[in-house]
């Protein structure tokens, strides 16, 4: 082989399978990184609301006990005709006694957990893939 010919053709062609395998490895690495990020977000989307629910659970139970909702429920069960005859006043009194703040503080994390579970069940956003 001539030295002149060796240095004039400096662009050797890579084997055709090299490009495909390289792109496949890049896609696999990207999928791994994406699944790690999604797993972290999913874990945070479930653990943080569960902590909030745990911290608020005792307050909600205490507020329901102090609000008189159980007395209203027993009145509805024991004497429904009297409740129906005074339904306007009864339902206004019931609405005033509800612990709305505690219920909302419990409802928001519950909805966050359900939304995270919905994302997990979505095939496109599943952190570990289905394949």
Give the model's pLDDT for residue 36: 80
Q: State which residues of the chain have pLDDT below 70.
A: 1-2, 5-7, 9-12, 123-131
* Helix or strand run (H / E) with residue 46: helix 16-67
Of 112, 119, 117, which is closest to residue 53 (Cα–Cα)? 112
- For 2-36, write each residue's pLDDT tens digit: 677 666 766 667 777 888 888 889 988 988 888 78
User: What are the extents of the domains in the chain?
Assistant: 47-131
The span from the CA of 72 to the CA of 78, in Å, is 10
């Amino acid at each position: 082989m001539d030295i002149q010919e060796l240095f004039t053709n400096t662009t050797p062609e890579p084997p055709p399978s090299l490009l495909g395998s390289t792109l496949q490895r890049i896609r696999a690495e990207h999928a791994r990184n994406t699944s790690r990020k999604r797993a972290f977000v999913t874990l945070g989307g479930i653990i943080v609301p569960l902590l909030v629910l745990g911290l608020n659970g005792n307050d909600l139970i205490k507020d329901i006990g102090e609000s008189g909702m159980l007395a209203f429920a027993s009145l509805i069960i024991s004497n429904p005709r009297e409740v129906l005859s005074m339904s306007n006043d009864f339902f206004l009194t019931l609405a005033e006694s509800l612990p709305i703040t505690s219920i909302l503080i419990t409802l928001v994390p519950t909805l966050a957990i359900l939304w995270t579970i919905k994302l997990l069940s979505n095939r496109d956003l599943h952190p570990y893939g289905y394949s």
